[in-house]
A and B are shown apart, each in its own frame.
Chain A
Amino acid sequence: MSIKTIYGIFDDEEILLKSVREIRSNNINIKEVYTPFPVHGLDKELGLKETRMAITAFIYGCIGITFAGLMIFNIMIIDWPMNIGGKPNFTFYHNVPSFVPVMFECTVLFAAHLMSITYLIRCGLFPGAKSENPDPRTTDDKFLIELEIDGSTKKVKDLLSKTGASEINEK
Chain B
Amino acid sequence: MQKEAEIRDPLIIGKKSYHDITLDISKPVEGKANKYWWILFSISFVMFIWGVLSMAYTIGTGVGTWGLNKTINWAWDITNFVWWIGIGHAGTLISAVLLLFRQKWRMSINRSAEAMTIFGVAQAGLFPIIHMGRPWLAYWVFPIPNQFGSLWVNFNSPLLWDVFAISTYFSVSVVFWYIGLIPDFAMLRDRFNEKTAPMKKKLYSFLSFGWSGKAKHWQRFEEVSLVLAGLATPLVFSVHSIVSMDFATSVIPGWHTTIFPPYFVLGALFSGFAMVETLLIIMRKVVNMEAYITIKHIEYMNIIILLTGSLVGTAYITELFMAWYSGVEYEQYAFLNRATGPYWWSYAIMMGCNVLTPQLYWINSIRKSFIATFILSIFVNIGMWFERFVIIVTSLHRDFLPSSWTMFSPSIIDIGIYLGTIGFFFVLFLLYARTFPVIAQAELKTIVKSSGSEYKNKKS
Contacts and interface: CB of A to CB of B under 8 A. Distances in A.
Interface of A: 14, 32-40, 42-43, 46, 48, 51, 53-54, 57, 71-72, 75-76, 79-80, 82, 84, 87, 89, 95, 98-99, 101-102, 104-106, 108-109, 111-113, 115-116, 119-120, 122-133, 136-141
B172 A108 contact: yes
Interface of B: 1-2, 17-19, 22, 143, 150, 152-156, 158, 160-161, 164-165, 168, 171-172, 175-176, 179, 182-183, 186-187, 189-191, 205-224, 226-228, 231-232, 234-235, 238, 242, 245, 442-443, 445-446
B228 A126 contact: no
B220 A123 contact: yes
Contacts of A38: 218-219, 221-222, 442, 446
Contacts of A127: 206-207, 209
Contacts of A141: 17-19, 22, 445
Nearest to B445: A37
B168 A43 contact: no
Given A36-B18, A98-B156, A125 B209 contact: yes
Contact of A95 (B156, B224, B227): B156
Contacts, number: 197
B155 A105 contact: no
Given A102-B160, A129-B209, A37 B442 contact: yes
Contacts of B232: 108, 112
A125 B223 CA distance: 16
8 contacts: A43-B215, A48-B215, A76-B155, A101-B238, A109-B164, A132-B210, A132-B212, A141-B19
A101 B17 contact: no
A122 B344 CA distance: 59
Given A127-B206, A137-B190, A80 B211 contact: no
Contact of A51 (B19, B156, B220, B235): B220
7 tightest CB-CB pairs across the interface, nearest first? A129-B210, A141-B18, A136-B190, A125-B209, A101-B161, A133-B212, A105-B164
A105 B171 CA distance: 11
Given A38-B221, A79-B150, A137-B190, 9 more contacts: A36-B18, A43-B218, A76-B155, A79-B152, A82-B154, A106-B168, A111-B231, A112-B172, A139-B187
Nearest to A111: B231
A42 B207 CA distance: 27
Nearest to B220: A51
B120 to A, nearest CB: 19
A99 B219 CA distance: 37
A125 B218 CA distance: 13
B224 A53 contact: yes
B150 A32 contact: no
B227 A57 contact: yes
A136 B228 CA distance: 29
Contacts of A39: 215, 218
A112 B210 contact: no
A80 B183 CA distance: 48
B213 A84 contact: no
Given A53-B223, A95-B156, A127-B209, A106 B18 contact: no
B228 A131 contact: no
